[in-house]
Amino acid sequence: MITGTGRAVPAYAMPNADFAAIGIDTSDEWIRERTGIRQRYIARDGETCVSLAADASRQAMARAGVAPEDIDLIVFGTCSPDKLLPASGVELQAQIGAVNASAFDLNAACTSFVYGVSVAEGFIAAESARTVLVIGAEKLSGIINWKDRNTCVLFGDGAGAAIMQRAQGGKGVVSRFMRSDGHLASLLYRPKGGSAEPVTPEILAEGSHLVAMAGRETFKHAVRSMNEALDRALADAGLTGDDIDLLIPHQANLRIIEATAKHGHMPMDKVFVNVDRYGNTSAGSVPIALDEAMQSGRIQPGMKVMLVAFGAGFTWASAIHQF
């Protein structure tokens, strides 16, 4: 079960209006109407994926009453690690002093945190870990193409963290679902710059080491997949949308969120939305929203909360948590 959460974003909030200053042919109206996004946070001055994750982790540990040395496992969800080697999880381990932990990265893009919740739950159920730190953190500003208006307006930087421990008194994850479909990888990916085609001056010049996305196709699959993830976790738990007190969907686009809520017959007042302030923070999206919901009192003891996400791969997943 989740016993503490935290979140961190960079200091600089970039409003839609600021894209004009960097030569992007877009408008505040277009971005708000198509996505619901008003601003996103962009890392500067030494703010990194791991430093944001460390800030979020310290909050989660304090709220769970857990010391760094109590952590047995760190599952670090990201698709924009500070370095490709070693894993961001071990860099985080060093920064927070989790000296007794093992750590690894998990890349399911925007679905990473929801995958991470299932992974943590599995380790705890197998009694291989008692206290797990699950992270969703990104510095997407370092991997997006700042010349491509189709993508650069959508994403932001940020991190969320959760401490997970053994379920008690009926609390904890009551159902979960995970899927992927690698046939659709090239709809949202970084075409080059990995070990298959290492970076060359030509790759750098054409920007094919950066995020490229077929927006309309991705949108359709996002709606279909989020709907499936919602249905499957509900069916597995023997619940309906009426039983869910709060839906926390991946914050990519307000229209995708509204379509998911409609499919689940959930009124928007039972759906957590913060895409307007953060944009799409990929792996950071669900845990940032979860922490905001916890700290603002939207989540109360006894509530059933559903997490649902979709991301590059494609990957999609859900989890229902009894608080």
Among 323, 288, 318, which Cα is nearest to 305's? 323
Q: Which residue is catalytic, options 110, 152, 227, 321?
A: 110
For residue 284, which of 118, 110, 101 has the smallest C-alpha distance?
110
Q: How far is CA 55 from CA 7, 95, 198, 208, in A?
A: 7, 10, 33, 32
Site string for ligand ACO, 35-74 (x = CB under 6 A): x---------------------------------------
Among 54, 312, 317, 320, binds ligand ACO (CB under 6 A): 312
Q: Contact at 8 Å (CB) between 307 and 244? A: no
Stretch that binds ligand ACO, among 67-75, 161-169, 193-201, 213-221 (CB under 6 A): 213-221
> Are the C-beta atoms of 274 and 287 separated by less than 8 Å?
no
Cα distance between residue 83 and residue 123, in whole Å: 26
Q: Would you call 110 a catalytic residue per the annotation?
A: yes
> Binding segment for ligand ACO among 45-53, 83-91, 215-223, 227-235 (CB under 6 A)?
215-223
DSSP secondary structure letters along 75-144:
EEE-SS-S-SSS-HHHHHHHHHT-TT-EEEEE--GGGHHHHHHHHHHHHHHTTS-S-EEEEEEE-GGGTS
* Number of residues forming the site for ligand ACO (CB under 6 A): 25
Nearer to ligand ACO, 73 or 286 (CB): 286
Active site residue 253: no
Q: For ligand ACO, which is the closer residue by CB, 16 or 322? A: 16
C-beta closer to ligand ACO: residue 35 or 322: 35
Sole binder of ligand ACO in the list 102, 150, 274, 295 (CB under 6 A): 150
- Minimum distance from CB of 131 to ligand ACO (Å)? 28
- Kindly state the DSSP code that residue 271 receives in the 8-state scheme: B
Binding site for ligand ACO (CB under 6 A): 26, 30-31, 34-35, 109-110, 149-150, 153, 188, 213, 215-216, 218-219, 222, 252-253, 256, 280, 282, 310-312
